Structure 1
Amino acid sequence: MSGETYLVYGEVYLLTPSSSSWNHDGDPVELLQINESVSEFRQALKENPRFLQDKVKHYFKENTHRLTLSMSPDESYLEKQAQAEEEKLQKKIQALSDGDRKEIYDKGLELLDAQSKTQDASCLPALKVSDIEPTIPVTPVQISTAGGVPVQYCEQPTNGLVYFRAMCSLNTMPEELRLYVPLFCSVITKMGCGALDYRQQSQQMELRTGGMSVSTQVIQDSTQLDMYEQGVLLNSSCLDRNLPHMFELWSDIFNSPHLDDEERLRVLVMMSAQELANGISYSGHMYAMTRSSRHLTPAGDLRETFSGMDQVKFMKRIAEMSDLSQVIRTLPRIKKHLLNPDNMRCAVNTTPQKMSDTAAQLESFMKDVSENRKERKPVRSNIVEVRYQQAYSYVRKLISELNFSPCQMKTLFPMPFPVNFVSESIRTVPFSHEDYASLCVLARMMTAKFLHGEIREKGGAYGGGARMGGGVFTFYSYRDPNSVQTLSAFRRGVDWAKSGQFTQQDIDEAKLSVFSAVDSPVAPSNKGMGLFLSGVTDEMKQSHRERLFAVTHKNLVDVAERYLGVGQRTCGVTILGPENDTIKKDPSWIVK
């Protein structure tokens, strides 16, 4: 941008907040005099400490000029909408002459022909694969301990911020508590802790930190499809001067969380259940992909438990419970297993100047929570210890289910909306396998050169494509008017790939697309996180990079035939969408 452009942009940005008052004969200059308004507000508070309370009382509590609006859903809305659309369509059809019908038909054929043609993109500027850097920069980390807990330190230009993570294993937690773990993660930082109620805790988090959160983690092993790590990730950041306050908040959460406030818990449960239910209509393809891969790997099964339709159903049941005493008794049991320093490893990203101070504060934090440390036996015997690198002094404890038997399953979830979210997942290979890179390139190429045209342009879906990750090759469509037809498009996409009807330019474009994700900028706060969470080293990333460069036409046809061909694949299929008579009549489908 030129200096003049920046000036115009700044003026627009400055005046936009004033436009509402300005349009109603207000003074825009007065709204820009922020300091004067703040001074008046402070003076008003000084003269009357109950200034805000009085305003709330005057304008809200005792204000008789109010309107109450109630909205209730029409149970037959979708039927009425479909009927109105059908009547409107029939009315327009009846008004067409024979000439109009022929013209529409001919234009439809013209459109189909145009959609099937390959566009000439040679006139457009483009990168070449040869323009991509052949090697990745190395991210140095140091491994140490704090209070007996392994810690990864990564020096980064974080601009005065300290980023703290802690991975807590689920290996010692009883299996029957699994479904409750996402709920525990969502409420543990919102119920209050120590001497703070939940409001005070929230205020301190906003005042002293950039946020504190806990989330579930299911991490597929990079070498074996049937090995994975399960845990929860503690995540927070703060300015270096607030580091003692941040660790004090975490200490209170470890030592004395308020998990017995049923009224507060009910509010959080209702909010969580509503968010999950609302998310289906916006991210239904994610739920479909999670479900379709459920029976293909052990990690996929746990992901469905933590973040799939099983979790949506579970939270709906919890939200409908009149008595949450059972949940209140369950949360401390989970806390006992998760917030245990014996099952933890930590990571810190900050500037070199603040690293020693941060290490000292982390050591102090570990002493504060040492009472929670207790060695517990894993509930499973099939635990495998994997060392990060030979020189590193700590290990990741993975669950190994080498006797896992993947199975095929097709599931329909009837939903009260008129579009479908379709997914088909196929078990393939882990990250370190030599064919993984070829499958990544194949997924991008199929998306751009075949599936986009078939599913979006011809089929009318909002979007669709294929992706490779976690040892699973997944097809998907988003807000799709079709269901069974889209599954046929997935199969035609496999046939297209097996036939080899693509050019070297198509392959290069797919590689560029893959590298755009592989080489996307990594914030200083996230440097080293691949190693910390997944055990994926810079050497493993470089090997994967070299395999991406080396992918050929023959490789793509080979992996399509070997992993995606009918009879050589283990797959799962899931559809979220309206009632489907065709699927109901098919005994191979399970209708929920």
Structure 2
Amino acid sequence: MCRAAASLSSTRLTHELWSGIEQARIMQHIAGEIGLESDKRSDVLSNITERMKAIWSYITSHKRLKFSLHGEADGLMSGLKYLDGFLNDLSQSPKVSNSLLIEDSQNPDFFPNISRNTFFAMPYTVHYVAKAIEAPSYDSEDYASYRVLAHLLSFKYLHREIREKGGAYGGGAIAKPEAFLFYSYRDPYPLKTLSSFENAIKWASSREFQDQDIKEAKLSVFQELDYPVSAGSRGLTRFLNGISDDLRQSHRNQVFSVDASRIKDISGKMVQKLSDTSDFHNVGRVVIGPQSSPDWIQDTFGQDSKIIWERVIMMI
């Protein structure tokens, strides 16, 4: 899902580069470079070391650091003392030139060209499918409706179409800030599943949901909002994502306000996005499956005039 959403926003692209399939490809490339002959390996390791030093020098600048400390009052006083010592040690660390980072950032290949529709061939016997559609941010009033819609689609449509009819182990929809995500796993029929994803939105836009359906979906959203938080994680949502208690409460109120008309309205807008053949920047698709998958034979790529797939072979 992370890769499918990478083309939707810079935030989602960063997630993919740091923790998605693209990160695995980067590590795979580095491992291949290190595995070269001994003389070339030394140059590769030296190059990596210099870049890591430059990154360390860049990120440890005081103006780029922020800290979150948790604990009781007495413990925090001790923690602040050690934090001051840590910052003093950083200020005495030798600085490394950032010229390598500047050189990298000016390279046209610095940010890889992420295909919006990619098939990753891996040594699997089944498929993993994901589709992402552009969605509003957390502070948008519409985001609450997207979250409720995700649960409605998962339990009222996608479970039946993907698991019961399609034979996949599971699947559903998830609403995240800036991305509305569909997924399936251990799926024998990925193309049918992709069609089910699109049909799910059309189904929602033409359906009159009952109040009980909306209520059950809201309860699922509130379970996500009210999950237990450990003492050590309190405040991290605000620290990492800028979501304050006031913003969280505003979002809860917006979830309460979601009704059938809002669900129909946003699903109709999503249908319009999907039907706009002139602009595909707001949709991403990824399938992971076997190299011999009959749905992704190289010669068949691009026969569908609407969707052009990139095929990537991943060796694990």
SS in 2 for 1:291: coil
Per-residue deviation, 1:529: 0.9
Cα distance between partner residues in 1 of 2:227 and 2:195: 33
Matched, 1:529 2:241: no
Per-residue deviation, 1:448: 1.1
Look up the equivalent residue of 1:299 and give its one-letter code.
T
TM-score of the aligned structures, taking structure 1 as reference length: 0.45
Look up the equivalent residue of 1:412 and give its one-letter code.
F
Cα distance between partner residues in 1 of 2:162 and 2:200: 10
Cα distance between partner residues in 1 of 2:295 and 2:187: 16
**Residues 550, 375 of structure 1: CA spacing in aligned structure 2 closer, same or farther, 3 A cutoff?**
farther
Partner of residue 332 from structure 1, selected from 42, 45, 53: 53
| Residues 166-210 of structure 1: per-residue CA shift (max 9 Å, x gap) | xxxxxxxxxxxxxxxxxxxxxxxxxxxxxxxxxxxxxxxxxxxxx
Aligned residue in 2 for 1:291: 3
Matched, 1:413 2:120: yes
Per-residue deviation, 1:376: 9.7
Cα distance between partner residues in 2 of 1:523 and 1:504: 34
Partner of residue 562 from structure 1, selected from 269, 280, 296: 269
The structure 1 segments of at least 4 consecutive aligned residues displaced by more than 6 Å after TM superposition are: 373-377
CA contact (8 A) 2:135 2:177 kept: no
Aligned residue in 2 for 1:301: 13
Per-residue deviation, 1:462: 1.3
Partner of residue 469 from structure 1, selected from 173, 176, 196: 176
Aligned residue in 2 for 1:577: 289
Aligned residue in 2 for 1:358: 79
Matched, 1:423 2:143: no
CA contact (8 A) 2:208 2:260 kept: no
CA contact (8 A) 1:340 1:374 kept: no
Q: Which runs of 5+ in 1 are unaligned?
A: 1-288, 381-406
**Residues 443, 376 of structure 1: CA spacing in aligned structure 2 closer, same or farther, 3 A cutoff?**
farther
State the number of aligned residues: 279
Per-residue deviation, 1:331: 1.8
CA contact (8 A) 1:341 1:372 kept: no
| Residues 96-155 of structure 1: per-residue CA shift (max 9 Å, x gap) | xxxxxxxxxxxxxxxxxxxxxxxxxxxxxxxxxxxxxxxxxxxxxxxxxxxxxxxxxxxx
Cα distance between partner residues in 1 of 2:203 and 2:130: 19
Aligned residue in 1 for 2:107: none
Cα distance between partner residues in 2 of 1:372 and 1:340: 10
SS in 2 for 1:412: strand
SS in 2 for 1:478: strand
Show the 5 A alignment for 1:364-403.
Answer: 364-372=85-93
Aligned residue in 1 for 2:64: 343
CA contact (8 A) 2:143 2:177 kept: no
Cα distance between partner residues in 1 of 2:178 and 2:93: 36
Larger mean CA deviation between 449-458 and 543-552 belongs to: 449-458
**Residues 467, 353 of structure 1: CA spacing in aligned structure 2 closer, same or farther, 3 A cutoff?**
same
Q: Which runs of 5+ in 2 are unaligned?
A: 36-40, 103-113, 303-307
**Residues 365, 555 of structure 1: CA spacing in aligned structure 2 closer, same or farther, 3 A cutoff?**
same
SS in 2 for 1:536: coil
Show the 5 A alignment for 1:78-477.
Answer: 289-320=1-32, 321-322=34-35, 323=41, 324-372=45-93, 409-477=116-184
Per-residue deviation, 1:365: 2.5
**Residues 409, 327 of structure 1: CA spacing in aligned structure 2 closer, same or farther, 3 A cutoff?**
same
TM-score of the aligned structures, taking structure 2 as reference length: 0.82
Per-residue deviation, 1:300: 1.8
Per-residue deviation, 1:342: 2.9
Partner of residue 509 from structure 1, selected from 191, 216, 235: 216
Per-residue deviation, 1:472: 0.5
Per-residue deviation, 1:359: 2.1
Per-residue deviation, 1:336: 1.2
Matched, 1:550 2:263: no
Per-residue deviation, 1:475: 0.5
Cα distance between partner residues in 2 of 1:432 and 1:375: 39
Aligned residue in 1 for 2:109: none
SS in 1 for 2:132: strand
Greater CA radius of gyration, 1 or 2? 1
Larger relative strand fraction: 1
Per-residue deviation, 1:469: 0.7
**Residues 318, 507 of structure 1: CA spacing in aligned structure 2 closer, same or farther, 3 A cutoff?**
same
Cα distance between partner residues in 1 of 2:198 and 2:215: 24
- How large is the RMSD of aligned CA atoms in angstroms? 2.5
SS in 2 for 1:442: helix
Cα distance between partner residues in 2 of 1:309 and 1:341: 32
Q: Say which structure, 1 or 2, has more relative contact order (CA 8 Å, 6+ apart).
A: 2
**Residues 368, 582 of structure 1: CA spacing in aligned structure 2 closer, same or farther, 3 A cutoff?**
closer
| Residues 11-48 of structure 1: per-residue CA shift (max 9 Å, x gap) | xxxxxxxxxxxxxxxxxxxxxxxxxxxxxxxxxxxxxx
Per-residue deviation, 1:501: 4.1
SS in 2 for 1:411: strand
Aligned residue in 1 for 2:111: none
CA contact (8 A) 2:148 2:255 kept: yes
Partner of residue 586 from structure 1, selected from 301, 307, 310: 301
